[in-house]
Amino acid sequence: MLAEGRIGRLVSVRAMVGEPLPQIRPDYRDLYLAKQGGAFELMHDIDLALWYAGQELKTVHGLNGAFSDIGIQAPDVVELLMEFHNRCIANVHLDFFQQPRRRQLDLMGTEGTITIEFSRWDQCTISHYDVTAKNWVSQTLITDRDDMFRDEDRQFLQAVAGDLPIQCTLEEGLKSLKVVLASQKKC
């Protein structure tokens, strides 16, 4: 939909994911992420914001910390603001305490909006607001949580076996890491 120009030029990306870590992993206090990394472990939404924006970053601002009552040393909430070079911004929210689990991505353009709601592991809903028709059109897709991981593994193994390029390069992966590191710099 974005590539087809259904929402015009992308102006803003808003990504939000939150999940109750104590319910998902009762042993969470023993995990490495409880001491290091924390909610930054949910960085797939940073990947998505960068991917959808499709351009170089200009600036990154971030706040993070252990603000909830789940009792971890690492950040349990992260707020990131990113500005891109060609009139596009992104806001990414990550947390380990939100109930119920939520994941939503909004792509706001000059001529409409696309919303992807993926709070359940077994389905996602993609909605598109058409400003000409003045209505939302939605479709629900059946998914399996591990489909993405299986596809990634399959593509990687095929690339290695066939001496083919890997779709997600090291340089691509480093983009999100650079955002995380830039957001943690203190003035």
Q: Which domains, and CATH codes, for the chain?
A: 14-103+146-183 (3.30.360.10)
Cα–Cα nearest to 183, from 80, 66, 53, 74:
80
Question: What does pTM read for this prediction?
Answer: 0.90
Do residues 12 and 4 lie in contact, with contact meaning Cβ atoms separated by under 8 Å? Answer: no
Do residues 38 and 29 lie in contact, with contact meaning Cβ atoms separated by under 8 Å? Answer: no
Give the pLDDT confidence score for residue 147 in this predicted structure.
85
Given a cut of 70, whether residue 16 has pLDDT beyond it is: yes
Give mean pLDDT, residues 31-52. 95
Going by pLDDT thresholds of 50, 70 and 90, the confidence category of residue 186 is low
The torsion of the CA quartet 146, 151, 152, 156, rounded to 10 degrees, works out to 140
User: Quick one: what percent of the chain has pLDDT higher than 70?
Assistant: 99
Given a cut of 80, whether residue 185 has pLDDT beyond it is: no
Give the pLDDT confidence score for residue 148 in this predicted structure.
80
Going by pLDDT thresholds of 50, 70 and 90, the confidence category of residue 187 is very low
Angle among Cα 98, 99, 105 to the nearest 5 degrees reads 60
Q: Is 28 exposed, middle or buried (0-12, 13-18, 19+ CB in 10 A)?
A: middle
Give mean pLDDT, residues 144-148. 82
Collapsed DSSP state (helix, strand, coil) of residue 105: strand
DSSP assignments along 123-183, one per residue: EEEEEEEETTTTEEEEEEEE--TTHHHHHHHHHHHHHHHHT---SS-HHHHHHHHHHHHHH
Q: Could you give the C-alpha distances from 183 to 23, 63, 76, 78, 179, in angstroms and in order?
A: 28, 7, 15, 9, 6
Q: Phi/psi at 176 (nearest 5 deg)?
A: -70, -40
User: Quick one: what percent of the chain has pLDDT higher than 90?
Assistant: 82
